[in-house]
Amino acid sequence: DSGVTQTPKHLITATGQRVTLRCSPRSGDLSVYWYQQSLDQGLQFLIQYYNGEERAKGNILERFSAQQFPDLHSELNLSSLELGDSALYFCASSDQETQYFGPGTRLLVL
């Protein structure tokens, strides 16, 4: 158990809808990362937050947004969902040396 939790584990929704994925980092970790893993695109880095501030941005679509709250949990919002957004979404937190991954949220867009 990495100490990073993600909810929900599975999510099935329809095209055009909006969903929110939640991530709780390990206690004490200030950094949160979001990644997307799909069959088409492989693993992609989406965005990183550090202590509530956006730190780095990867290949994140404009339809997607994220934030990190004062209690350090993070949410990834996906809107106007398309079939191609079906993927496994991982969250990770890190201390100075190591990243710790959550179990992922599997999103299926029908």
Partner 1 sequence: AQKVTQAQTEISVVEKEDVTLDCVYETRDTTYYLFWYKQPPSGELVFLIRRNSFDEQNEISGRYSWNFQKSTSSFNFTITASQVVDSAVYFCALSEEDDDMRFGAGTRLTVKP
What's the rounded Cα separation, in Å, for the pair 73 and 91? 10
Minimum CB–partner distance for residue 43 and partner 1 (Å): 4
Smallest Cα–Cα separation from 104: which of 30, 13, 12, 11? 11
Q: Which of these ranges, 7-15, 17-25, 57-65, 73-81, lies near partner 1 under the rule CB under 8 A? A: 57-65
Q: Would you give the end-to-end CA distance of the chain in angstroms?
A: 31
Smallest Cα–Cα separation from 85: which of 101, 64, 103? 64
Binding-site string for partner 1 from residue 11 to residue 50, where x marks contact by CB under 8 A and - marks none: ------------------------x------xxxx--x--
Residues in contact with partner 1 by the rule CB under 8 A: 2, 35, 42-45, 48, 55-59, 88, 90, 92, 97-101, 103-104
